């Protein structure tokens, strides 16, 4: 095995990640009636809105406090208050999330205090304003996403009566994945609080009238009651306890925490279903067993094709871990495993599954595409799995890309690709297999000709 810690370096070449507040925005978009204010300079908000709307094809309204020179020198409290006033006026949200950018953090803005004072000042006691510091220099969108979720729970959860519900906390997955998880829960008759739930807000059906704040999302009162649930399932293995929403519920309210991988692939989906069964005692419905059987059947059908695959897998840690598992189960060798996040857990978590591998592989964290490309060059990697920026590997090294994760901005429908559960895993696996086949058949005749006919040259 080979490790490759890219880590702190003087220059990043072609980043594999984005920054914290973007993840915070996504988390907040999954809360019912929410609106987001980014405290900092205007540009960051505009960039993030563009990035998110390219992926989701939905209007992404995010306000900025548009700090100028004066605000930067003397503090941005006036802008902060005005920003809140204006979004309440135009959007009438039920909850506001305030995030910071690098600029606000660098000049030392205390948004928590400012939010409190604003509430007092405007006499809106009880109006929820969630403040989550998310300086871009401190982490990627993945960390921003989870730490904001944690802040949301910290801000809303109250001491409640114990009940039979379970909390399900998900990483940033597709809207189809969210709907699939809800379907599985419903099929097992489990009442759950899904956090966040942007399956409607970021994938809204076309309707005759337009809503500035789209209906849907996890309800504020449901989040408030997460403290009383019988358990939390958190589909996040790579995150630190300090930003884990589930860890907070456990510490503060004693809600048992089950940290499981994203249910992509056979093994991971089994873990999900068995955990549900273990917690609630629900029966596994026949339909679900049939879906599992169909996945097995499909895995057998494509196993020889898949055995030809050597993959480079990159993106947010949870996406990477899940794709690695799916690949390993199907004989696709994950030779290059990379994330832009700073996490040592990737190695620990993969150690066991990769321990027996005879081939060399590379696990890289806190890395960029220039390093990923180095490792892919002349290495036999014939498939890349990850977000759209991986098109760089296609362009430079001719490696075809299966789009998975965020952002997917150069194809339609990336926001509703199904990859979780037995059914989703099969559809994800099919996408991978077919990409391998495409690539093989396109080059088949010319490769054969070159290899066996033109041997003299």
Partner 1 sequence: MQGLAIQERKESIFTKGEQRNTLTCDTDSISGSVSQRACVYCGARVVLNPITDAIHLVHGPIGCASYTWDIRGSLSSGEELYRNSFSTDLREQDIIFGGEKKLTQAIDDLVTKYHPPLVFVYSTCIVGVIGDDLEAICKAASLKHQIEIIPIESSGFIGNKSAGYRAACEGLLRLIKNQPNPIPPKEKNTLNLLGDFNLAAETWIIKSYLERVGIKLNVTLTGDSSYEQIKKTPIASLNIVQCAGSMIYLAEKLKEEYDIPYLRISFIGIEDTIASLRKIAAALGDEQIIKNIEKLIRKEQEKTWPVIDYYKHKLQGKKAAVYVGGGFKAISLIKQFRELGIEVVIVGTQTGSQAEYQTIGDLVQQGTVIFDDTNPAELENFIIDKGADLLVGGVKDRPLAYKLGTAFIDHNHDRKHALCGFVGAENFAKEVYSTVCSPVWKAIRTGGMTE
Q: Which of residues 127-146 bind partner 1 (CB under 8 A)?
A: 135-138, 140
Please answer whether residues 305 and 436 qualify as being in contact, where contact means their C-beta atoms are separated by less than 8 angstroms: yes
- # residues near partner 1 by CB under 8 A: 71
Report residue 189 as tokens.
Answer: 């008759």
Q: Which is nearer to ligand SF4, 141 or 335 (CB)?
A: 141
Site for ligand SF4 in 10-49 (CB under 6 A): 19, 21, 41, 43-44, 47
Please answer whether residues 169 and 239 qualify as being in contact, where contact means their C-beta atoms are separated by less than 8 angstroms: no
Site for partner 1 in 298-357 (CB under 8 A): none
What string marks each residue from 384 to 413 as x (binds partner 1 by CB under 8 A) or -? -----x------------------------
Q: Which listed range, 65-73, 118-126, 230-238, 242-250, lies at the site for partner 1 (CB under 8 A)? A: 65-73
What string marks each residue from 45 to 64 as x (binds partner 1 by CB under 8 A) or -? -xxxxxx-xx-xxxxxxxxx
What string marks each residue from 133 to 172 as x (binds ligand SF4 by CB under 6 A) or -? ---x------------------------------------
Site for partner 1 in 162-221 (CB under 8 A): 204, 206, 210, 212
Distance set, CA 122 to CA 65, 82, 85, 117, 331 (Å): 18, 11, 9, 8, 61
Site for ligand SF4 in 47-86 (CB under 6 A): 47
Residue entry with tokens 């609630």: 280
Q: Which does 15 bind (CB under 5 to 8 A by kind): ligand SF4, partner 1, none?
A: partner 1
Site for ligand SF4 in 92-131 (CB under 6 A): 101-103
Report DSSP letters for 279-338, one per residue: HH-PPPPHHHHHHHHHHHHHHHHTHHHHTT-EEEEESSHHHHHHHHHHHHHTT-EEEEEE
Can you tell me the distance from the alpha carbon of 245 to that of 157, in angstroms, rounded to the nearest whole number? Answer: 11
Please answer whether residues 147 and 28 qualify as being in contact, where contact means their C-beta atoms are separated by less than 8 angstroms: no
Can you tell me the distance from the alpha carbon of 255 to that of 212, in angstroms, rounded to the nearest whole number? Answer: 35
In the complex, the smallest distance separating the C-beta of residue 140 from ligand SF4, rounded to whole angstroms, is 10
Sequence-distant (6+) residues with CB within 8 A of 239 are 142, 143, 146, 317, 343, 345
Binding site for ligand SF4 (CB under 6 A): 19, 21, 41, 43-44, 47, 101-103, 136
């Amino acid at each position: 095995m080979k490790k490759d810690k890219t880590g702190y370096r003087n220059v990043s070449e072609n980043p594999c990640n984005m920054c914290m507040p973007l993840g915070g925005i996504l988390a907040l978009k999954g809360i019912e009636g929410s609106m987001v204010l980014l405290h900092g300079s205007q540009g960051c908000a505009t960039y993030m809105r563009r990035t998110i709307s390219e992926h989701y094809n939905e209007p992404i309204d995010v306000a900025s406090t548009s700090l100028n020179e004066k605000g930067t020198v003397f503090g941005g409290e006036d802008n902060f208050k005005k920003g809140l006033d204006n979004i309440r006026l135009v959007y009438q949200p039920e909850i506001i999330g305030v995030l910071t950018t690098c600029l606000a953090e660098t000049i030392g803005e205390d948004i928590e205090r400012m939010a409190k004072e604003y509430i007092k000042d405007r006499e809106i006691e009880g109006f929820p304003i969630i403040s989550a510091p998310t300086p871009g220099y401190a982490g990627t969108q993945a960390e921003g996403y989870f730490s904001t979720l944690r802040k949301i729970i910290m801000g809303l959860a109250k001491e409640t009566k114990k009940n039979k519900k379970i909390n399900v906390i998900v990483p940033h997955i597709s809207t189809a994945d969210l709907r699939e998880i809800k379907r599985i829960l419903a099929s097992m008759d489990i009442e759950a609080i899904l956090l966040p739930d942007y399956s409607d807000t970021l994938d809204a059906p076309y309707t005759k009238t337009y809503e500035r704040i789209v209906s849907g999302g996890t309800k504020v009162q449901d989040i408030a009651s997460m403290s009383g649930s019988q358990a939390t399932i958190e589909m996040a293995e790579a995150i630190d306890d300090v930003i884990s929403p589930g860890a907070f519920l456990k510490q503060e309210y004693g809600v048992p925490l089950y940290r499981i991988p994203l249910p992509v692939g056979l093994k991971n989906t089994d873990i999900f279903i068995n955990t549900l069964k273990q917690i609630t005692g629900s029966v596994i419905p026949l339909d679900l067993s049939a879906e599992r059987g169909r996945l097995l059947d499909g895995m057998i059908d494509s196993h020889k094709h898949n055995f030809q695959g050597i993959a480079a897998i990159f993106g947010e840690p949870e996406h990477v871990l899940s794709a690695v598992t799916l690949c390993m189960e199907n004989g696709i060798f994950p030779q290059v495993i990379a994330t832009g996040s700073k996490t040592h857990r990737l190695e620990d978590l993969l150690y066991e599954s990769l321990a027996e591998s005879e081939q060399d592989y590379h696990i890289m964290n806190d890395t960029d595409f220039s390093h990923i490309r180095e490792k892919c060059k002349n290495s036999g990697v014939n498939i890349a799995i990850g977000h759209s920026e991986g098109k760089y590997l296609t362009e430079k090294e001719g490696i075809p890309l299966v789009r998975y994760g965020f952002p997917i901005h150069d194809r339609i429908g990336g926001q509703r690709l199904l990859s979780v559960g037995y059914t989703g895993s099969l559809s994800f696996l099919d996408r991978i297999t077919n990409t391998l086949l495409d690539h093989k058949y396109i080059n088949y005749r010319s490769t054969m000709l070159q290899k066996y006919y033109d041997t003299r040259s």
